[in-house]
Amino acid sequence: MRITPKQKALLTFVCNFTAENGYAPSQREIADHFGWKSLGTVQDYLKKLEAKGVLKKEWNARRAIEVDHRFVENFMIPKESVSVPLLGKIAAGRPIEAIVSSEERIPVPKEMVRNGSFYALTVEGNSMIEDGIFEGDYIVVRRQQNAENGEMVVALVDNSATVKRMYRQKSRIELRPANETMESFYVKPHEVKVQGIVVGLYRKY
């Protein structure tokens, strides 16, 4: 499942409008916000997002648009933010590259980074889509070298970085994707280094 930038923008508008007003926007309000003249354009976007399982729409109701609860916080724009360093790309798939230093910074919600040292990485791939993480998103990571079973980690394997949920087994580590079309891969404990725990996600348009 791939969410395009325009689809992300629509979802963000729906989430923030609903949070501020207590009800979802109408199709006309969505069209006015984006400068679309035709309600058919709105309906086309909604149908595609409904087919992807991200939102639900009752077509005989004026305001019955509901974003799947798993994704609501991911699509909302933070009102207060601080900046964290953007250290490169991370694979939501097979490992692709080591984390590198960078002068670039991005804004993230202030409440997301209260305690500890944090950085951000750009996601490539679609192995974590069932956790609401899509290609092009930024994940926010707290630096630490240990993790509990089931936590989403940034891990180095053969000096390449990947984001997965980690599970310790008797003699190996399972790095599990959140995509039913993909399989876990397994490494020996000494072959993986935890670089941090994913604490949140941010989208930039």
Q: Tokens standing for 66?
A: 């509901």
Output the CA angle 39-41-46, nearest 5 degrees: 95
Compute the radius of gyration of the chain from its Cα atoms: 18
How many angstroms separate the CA atoms of 11 and 75, rounded?
6
H/E stretch holding 67 reads strand 65-67
Q: Are 197 and 151 in contact (CB under 8 A)?
A: yes
Q: Which residues are catalytic?
A: 127, 164
Q: Encode 122-155: b = buried (16+ Cβ within 10 Å), e = exposed.
A: bbbbbbbbbbbbbbebbbbbbeeeebeeeebbbb
CA torsion 97→103→104→106, rounded to 10°? 100
How many angstroms separate the CA atoms of 19 and 24, rounded?
8
DSSP 144: -
